[in-house]
Amino acid sequence: MGCLEAPLHLVERIQDGLIDADMRLGAAVAVPVAPHRRNPEGWPGVMVGALVIAPDMPEGVPAVWATTDAGNAILAVDGAAREYSRWAPAARAHDKEGFAAYPEAEEARRCLPENS
Q: What's the number of domains the chain is made of?
A: 1
**What global pTM score does this model have?**
0.90
Share of the chain above pLDDT 90, in %: 68
Q: Tell me: pLDDT of 24 over 60.
A: yes
Range of the domain at 99: 4-115
pLDDT at residue 97, rounded to an integer = 59
Q: Tell me: pLDDT of 31 over 60.
A: yes
Q: Rounded to an integer, what distance in angstroms lies between the CA atom of residue 94 and that of residue 63?
A: 19
The three-state (H, E, C) secondary structure of the chain, written as one string: CCCEECCHHHHHHHHHCECCCCCEEEEEEEEECCHHHCCCCCCCCEEEEEEEEECCEEEEEEEEEEECCCCCCEEECCHHHHHHECCCECCCHHHHHHHHHCHHHHHHHHCCHHHC
pLDDT at residue 94, rounded to an integer = 47
Which is more confidently placed, 85 or 95? 85
